[in-house]
Amino acid sequence: TFDIDANGIVNVTAKDMGTGKEQNITITSSTNMSKEDVEKAVREAEQFAAEDARRKEEVDTRNQADQMVYQTEKTLEEMGDKLDAGDKANIEGELNKVKEALKGTDTQAIKDATEALTRAFYAVSEKLYSQAGAQPGPDMGGAAGGATGATNNGGDDNVVDADYEVVDDNNK
């Protein structure tokens, strides 16, 4: 077990359950910060808060750009053959702009390039998904199985599902 008191002193106790032997140790701080040192540390933290926030924003922006670059490259690799040449060239152009911006230190340029890539990527993705939705997939190809005789009577959407049993007349 361990216990930390209000002064920051740690008391650690260990007991061997098999033999019943117990040992304990007390850990104390070798130096305490004076009030002046604490106040100085607080002032320094306040002084550098704006710089820390700017640096955090820069890191977050770079991470977001890296993630978008990865996602775009992966999608181009998987779906590149399904894209129009113009769309693919547009995406690759925006992708290269983000990569170039990442080489520099201008956070706003990285942000702008990432947003442009994101818009282009989503526009092309939307186009791909709408094309995929319009084409019948391998499971939906034409009228399959028992649905060959089904017709739509005047747009009536009232469909009734029914259970049925196949009766084999040969076994009677």
Residue-wise pLDDT tens digits, 108-128:
888 999 898 888 888 888 887
Q: 32 vs 67, which has greater pLDDT?
A: 67
Instruction: Please tell me whether residue 26 adopts helix, strand or coil conformation.
Output: strand
pLDDT band of 135, cuts 50, 70, 90:
low
pLDDT value, residue 139:
52
- Percent of the chain exceeding pLDDT 70 equals 80
Rounded CA-CA distance 138/135 in Å is 10
- Percent of the chain exceeding pLDDT 90 equals 3
As beta bridge partners, residue 150 has none
Residue-wise pLDDT tens digits, 74-90:
888 887 777 777 878 88
Domains of the chain and CATH, by start: 2-32 (no CATH), 50-133 (1.20.1270.10)
Rounded CA-CA distance 60/170 in Å is 73
CB under 8 Å to 57, separation ≥6 — which residues?
107
pTM equals: 0.52
Residue-wise pLDDT tens digits, 143-167:
444 444 444 455 556 777 777 777 7
DSSP E strand stretches across 97-154: none
Quickly tell me which residue has 């005789």 as its tokens. 149
Rounded CA-CA distance 102/62 in Å is 7
